């Protein structure tokens, strides 16, 4: 049994949680297993499960961190063996949604664990909206700001999304989900490494698309997985908004007409927030109000 489980055996709360996209991977009190009168047996009642999740303590410690078997989907009413350790794969329900009357976690004296889901399977309804999730919303799976709404074309969704660069990167990382909480992921088999504005996602894959920072009209077709990004005017690196000028010369980056300025290295490290910055030769990313521009200083 994991060390944490031994310590909390007599408490109502076990210190062990179901953590997934539906609760933004947090250790939420509402998702904490409760102890029972049987040693090593914990229960959680009346929960809707979907997407990917793990069973872990609040600290993601290896001593109490359980995932699933890659490619194996838990079935209602059948014990599902868990894989211990922080490197284990997420438990993945695929397209299924389970309305669980009871979730039972069993951990034996040697740390072997299993999960039993009891309840009913939810009906698969029509997808009426999808969400762009990634650096655009800080990977907050409960944030609806990346919503794309249905267009008049069958299966097509569209919306305007602003993509900031990821930390220590000059690109923004994102993918498509069919609902909040990480429901129904669409992605690539391998992560892209260059700015990608058009392609085809596959449902169930979880590698990201990378895109240059900026504001884009994003269009996604759920029938084909095809997506396309079109930059809005004055929003993407290299395009100046009205009244904003970004120039590099003589070892300096000079920004005019902007109220807020941030100069980053190509690796994403902040260099300065001044309108005039002396820098070493190299590639830099400059944010000036809503403009993002790459400049080369010689």
| Same domain as 17, residue 34 | yes
Label residue 268 by pLDDT band (50, 70, 90). low
| Same domain as 214, residue 135 | yes
State the Cα–Cα distance between residues 66 and 89, nearest whole angstrom. Answer: 9
| Same domain as 282, residue 259 | yes
In this predicted structure, which of 109-123, 201-215, 255-269 has the lowest mean pLDDT?
Answer: 255-269
Label residue 111 by pLDDT band (50, 70, 90). confident
Report whether pLDDT(141) > 50. yes
| Same domain as 156, residue 73 | no
Residues 272-286 have pLDDT tens digits of: 888 998 888 887 878
Average pLDDT score over the chain: 88
Percent of the chain with pLDDT over 70: 91
Report whether pLDDT(242) > 60. no
Task: Answer for the pair 187, 208: CB distance below 8 angstroms, yes or no.
Answer: yes
Label residue 260 by pLDDT band (50, 70, 90). confident
| Same domain as 107, residue 8 | yes
* pLDDT value, residue 239: 40
Report whether pLDDT(235) > 80. no
* All residues at 6 or more sequence positions from 223 whose CB lies less than 8 Å from its CB, including other chains: 154, 155
* pLDDT value, residue 266: 67
* Dihedral angle over CA of 68, 205, 218, 260, nearest 10: 60
What is the separation, in whole angstroms, between the first and last Cα of the chain? 60
For CA atoms 198, 71, 90, 125, the dihedral sign is positive
Report whether pLDDT(103) > 60. yes
Q: Which residues on adjacent β-strands are paired with residue 13?
A: 34
Report whether pLDDT(139) > 60. yes
Q: Average pLDDT for residues 200-206, to the nearest whole number?
A: 93
* pLDDT value, residue 2: 53
Which of 71, 99, 121 is the endpoint of a domain? 121
| Same domain as 290, residue 203 | no
Residues 6-56 have pLDDT tens digits of: 444 444 789 999 999 999 999 999 999 999 999 999 999 999 999 999 999
**Residue 104 tokens, joined:** 């039972």
**Residue 235 tokens, joined:** 């929003």
* All residues at 6 or more sequence positions from 203 whose CB lies less than 8 Å from its CB, including other chains: 184, 185, 186, 225
| Same domain as 33, residue 106 | yes
Q: Is residue 284 in a domain?
A: yes
* pLDDT value, residue 187: 96
Task: Answer for the pair 251, 281: CB distance below 8 angstroms, yes or no.
Answer: yes
| Same domain as 207, residue 186 | yes
CA 129-134-140 angle, 5° bins: 80
| Same domain as 61, residue 26 | yes
Q: Is residue 14 in a domain?
A: yes
Give the three-state DSSP class for 132.
strand
Label residue 233 by pLDDT band (50, 70, 90). low
Q: Is residue 237 in a domain?
A: no
225: left (phi > 0), else alpha (psi -120 to 50), else beta?
left
Element (H, E) at 6: helix 3-7
State the Cα–Cα distance between residues 294 and 265, nearest whole angstrom. Answer: 10
Residues 38-52 have pLDDT tens digits of: 999 999 999 999 999
Report whether pLDDT(93) > 70. yes
β-pair type (252-256, 245-249): antiparallel
* pLDDT value, residue 4: 47
Sheet holding 252-256, edge to edge: 245-249, 252-256, 276-278
State the Cα–Cα distance between residues 34 and 2, nearest whole angstrom. Answer: 16
Q: Is residue 240 in a domain?
A: no
Residues 124-136 have pLDDT tens digits of: 778 889 999 999 9
Q: Average pLDDT for residues 57-70, to the nearest whole number?
A: 92
Q: The CATH number of the domain where 178 resides is what?
A: 2.60.40.3620
39 phi and psi angles, rounded to 5 deg: -60, 130
Q: Average pLDDT for residues 80-101, to the nearest whole number?
A: 92
Number of domains the chain is built from? 3
Which of 121, 148, 171 is the endpoint of a domain? 121
Task: Please state, as a whole number, how many other Cβ atoms lie within 10 Å of the Cβ of residue 197.
Answer: 15
State the Cα–Cα distance between residues 165 and 210, nearest whole angstrom. Answer: 9
Which of 88, 121, 154 is the endpoint of a domain? 121
| Same domain as 150, residue 109 | no
| Same domain as 24, residue 84 | yes
| Same domain as 151, residue 204 | yes
pTM: 0.66
State the Cα–Cα distance between residues 77 and 104, nearest whole angstrom. Answer: 10
* pLDDT value, residue 257: 86
| CA proximity to 36, closest of 116, 106, 118 | 106
Give the three-state DSSP class for 64.
helix
Q: Is residue 236 in a domain?
A: no
Range picked from 98-112, 158-172, 254-268 for highest mean pLDDT: 98-112
Q: Is residue 217 in a domain?
A: yes
Domain that holds residue 266: 245-297
State the Cα–Cα distance between residues 81 and 251, nearest whole angstrom. Answer: 60
Q: Is residue 181 in a domain?
A: yes
Q: Is residue 253 in a domain?
A: yes
């Amino acid at each position: 049994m994991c060390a944490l489980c031994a310590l909390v055996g007599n408490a109502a709360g076990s210190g062990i949680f179901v953590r997934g996209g539906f609760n933004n991977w947090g250790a939420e009190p509402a998702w904490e297993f409760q102890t029972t009168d049987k040693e090593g047996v914990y229960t959680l009642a009346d929960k809707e499960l979907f997407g990917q999740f793990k069973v872990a303590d609040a600290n993601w410690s290896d001593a109490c961190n359980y995932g699933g078997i890659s490619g194996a989907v838990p079935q209602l009413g059948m014990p599902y063996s868990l894989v211990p350790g922080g490197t284990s794969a997420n438990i993945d329900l695929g397209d299924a949604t389970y309305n669980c009357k009871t979730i039972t976690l069993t951990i034996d004296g040697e740390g072997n664990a299993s999960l039993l889901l009891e309840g009913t399977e939810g009906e698969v309804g029509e997808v009426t909206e999808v969400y762009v999730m990634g650096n655009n919303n800080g990977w907050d799976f409960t944030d609806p700001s990346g919503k794309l709404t249905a267009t008049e074309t069958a299966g097509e969704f569209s919306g305007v999304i602003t993509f900031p660069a990821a930390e220590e990167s000059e690109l923004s990382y994102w993918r498509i989900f069919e609902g909040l909480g990480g429901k129904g992921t669409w992605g690539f088999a391998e992560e892209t490494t260059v700015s990608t504005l058009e392609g085809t996602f596959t449902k169930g894959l979880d590698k990201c698309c990378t895109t240059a920072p900026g504001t884009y009209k994003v269009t996604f077709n759920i029938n084909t997985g095809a997506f396309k990004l079109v930059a809005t005017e004055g929003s993407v690196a290299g395009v100046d908004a009205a009244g904003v000028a970004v120039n590099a010369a003589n070892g300096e980056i000079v920004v005019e007409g902007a109220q807020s300025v941030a100069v980053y290295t190509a690796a994403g490290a902040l260099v300065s927030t001044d309108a005039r910055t002396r820098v070493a030769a190299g590639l830099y990313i400059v944010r000036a109000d809503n403009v993002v521009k790459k400049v080369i200083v010689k």
